[in-house]
Amino acid sequence: ANFRIINPQTELIEPSVKGTLNVLKASSPGTKLAARGLSVMCNSRIFLKPFEHLAEGILDGGEPFRKAHGKTAYELVAEEPEFNNSFNLCMADHSKSEFELRIGLLLDLVMMVNFNGKERTFEEYQALAEQAGFNKVHLVNVSNGLAILEFHK
């Protein structure tokens, strides 16, 4: 899945100037949570230092973070309170945004599958389909006792 963090919006500054555009950047509604923690994390001196060792890490092998600090990010989180706080904020915001995305999809699935919270026989589904205006109900056996009901108008 693709998500936009920044939605570019263009606006013409002066029509007399040949196609001069001013690009305004606005964050998407769904990225408020992820952007806060990520911006705090990315502006941390500890997070930025490995970029100085990026070429060295690529050419010689190894992790740029370990070359910059002598330990992994998880080891450093335990020792540096500043990095620990920014790391935890970033992870919490990311987890919350992922959870909200997934729970929305899960609730849609539950609402689609769970009709009034009870099991029905095929005959009961046929009666409901007739009341709802469907002409035909077709049962497709999938496997392991699971089936798909197709409603046709």
| pLDDT over 70 at 122, yes or no | yes
Q: Would 72 be classed as within a structural domain? A: no
Q: What residue type is 123 in one-letter code?
A: E
Report the predicted TM-score, pTM, of the whole model to 2 decimal places. Answer: 0.43
**Highest-scoring range by mean pLDDT, 8-12, 13-17, 24-28, 54-58:** 54-58
Confidence of residue 70 (pLDDT cuts 50, 70, 90): very high
Q: Would 127 be classed as within a structural domain? A: yes
Q: Would 150 be classed as within a structural domain? A: yes
Q: In the prediction, which pLDDT does 13 show?
A: 47
- Mean of pLDDT values over 65-83: 88
Q: Would 135 be classed as within a structural domain? A: yes
Structure tokens at 8: 């570019």
Confidence of residue 26 (pLDDT cuts 50, 70, 90): low
- Mean of pLDDT values over 64-88: 88
Q: What residues make up the domain containing 146?
A: 117-153
| pLDDT over 50 at 23, yes or no | no
Q: In the prediction, which pLDDT does 7 show?
A: 54
Q: Would 28 be classed as within a structural domain? A: no
**Cβ atoms of 21 and 13 closer than 8 Å:** yes
Q: Which of 13, 9, 32, 31 is nearest to 21 (CA)?
A: 13
Q: In the prediction, which pLDDT does 10 show?
A: 46
The more confidently predicted of residues 2 and 80 is 80
- Rounded Cα distance, 60 and 80, in Å: 27
Q: Would 138 be classed as within a structural domain? A: yes
Q: Would 104 be classed as within a structural domain? A: no
Q: Would 77 be classed as within a structural domain? A: no
Residue 93 burial (CB < 10 Å; 0-12/13-18/19+)? buried
The proportion of the chain whose per-residue pLDDT surpasses 70, expressed as a percent, equals 68
| pLDDT over 70 at 98, yes or no | yes
The 10 Å Cβ neighbour count of residue 34 is: 20
The 10 Å Cβ neighbour count of residue 32 is: 11
Domain count of the fold of the chain: 1
